[in-house]
Amino acid sequence: MAYRVGLVGTGGIARAHGKACQQIAEAELVAICDVSAEQLARYGEEFGVAARYTELDAMLREAELDIAIICTWGAFHAETGIRICDSRRVKAVLCEKPFTQNAAEAAAFVAAGRRNRVLVAEAFKFRHHPMHLRAKAMLDAGEIGDLVGVRSTFCTSSGASLQERTPESNWRFNKAKGGGSIYDLACYNVHHARFIFGEEPKRVFAAQQLGLETDDAASIILVFSGGRTAQISVGFNTFSSQYAEISGHRGMLRLDQVWNNEIRAVTVEHRT
C-alpha cells in the first residue's frame, strides 16, 4: 500500500517531489496546498491531483495523509511544520531546505515533532546520493588517512546584473521570504561539512558580500575539533562552481557537481 502524501507549496521544487511520487510505487500524491489558486490549478493538472486546498488547516482536516512535504518559501518552514505536527494528522514531515531560519525555530519544529510522535526530516538529497555515500565510506575506511579539512563551493549566476537581482524578481533575493546565499546555498555546504566531520563546529567565521536586500555571496569558515576546518564559498554573483574536496594527511577526495543528482565518480589523489 502506498503512503499518502500531501504537499504544501507548489513552486519550482515541488515539481521534483511530484515527479518522485509518480516514480515511486510506495508514494501517492493525494493532496496539495498553496495560497495561489492559479498555481494550485496548474500543479494539480500537471500531476493529476484533484484535492486542492488554499488553506493548510483544511487540507490537514479533510485529507487522509501519511506524509506532508513542505515546499514553501524558507521563511515559513517552521510555522508550517509546527502546525502540521500539532495537527497529529500525519506520521512524518519532509521539509525542504533550509530547515528553518534560525536555531530557535529549528528547536521548536523538532520539539513539535517529538511531542506529537511525528518523524521530521530535512530534504537534503545528497545525504543519500551514491557519490556522497561512496566518499564517506572511503573516508571511514582510511583511504586518505586522518581527516584534515573540507573545502566546498556552491556558486551560481543567472547572468542578471546586481540591479536586476531585486526582491521582486526572485524569492532568493527577498529577505522576508527567506532568501540569501547563506540560506539558499550555504545550507548545503554547512550540512555536508557536519556530515563529513560527524560533529558540530566549535567556531564560525563569515564575511558577506552585500548589495542586495539579502547577502549576494559569502565566505565561511567552520572550525571543528582539533582545529580542523571547512572552508565554504557561495554566491549568486559568480560563475557556476560546485565541488567539494575532502583532505586527509595521505590524500584527497574530490567530488564535482557535488549538489546535483548526477552519478559521478569520486576522484582520489594520494600523496606520493
The DSSP-derived string for 164-197 is T--TTT-GGG-GGGT-SHIIIIIHHHHHHHHHHH
- The phi and psi torsions of 201 (rounded to 5 degrees) equal -65, 150
Task: Specify the residue for cell string 490537514.
Answer: 60
Please give the distance of CA 249 from its chain centroid, rounded to a whole number. Answer: 30
pLDDT at 271: 66
Please give the distance of CA 168 from its chain centroid, rounded to a whole number. Answer: 22
Task: Judge if pTM exceeds 0.85.
Answer: yes
How far apart are alpha carbons 173 and 177 in whole angstroms?
9
pLDDT at 264: 74
SS3 28: strand
CB-based burial label for 209 (10 Å; 0-12, 13-18, 19+): middle
Q: Which three cell numbers stand for residue 190?
A: 554547512
pLDDT in tens, the chain (272 residues): 899 999 999 998 999 999 999 999 999 999 999 999 999 999 999 999 999 999 999 999 999 999 999 999 999 999 999 999 999 999 999 999 999 999 999 999 999 999 999 999 999 888 888 889 999 999 999 999 999 999 999 998 877 777 778 788 777 888 888 888 899 999 999 999 999 999 999 999 999 987 778 888 999 999 999 999 999 999 988 888 999 999 999 999 999 988 887 767 788 877 65
Q: Which domains does the chain have, with CATH numbers?
A: 3-123 (3.40.50.720), 126-270 (3.30.360.10)
pLDDT at 272: 58
pLDDT at 176: 81
How far apart are alpha carbons 84 and 103 in whole angstroms?
19
Picking from 48, 237, 47, 258, the residue whose alpha carbon sits closest to that of residue 153 is 258
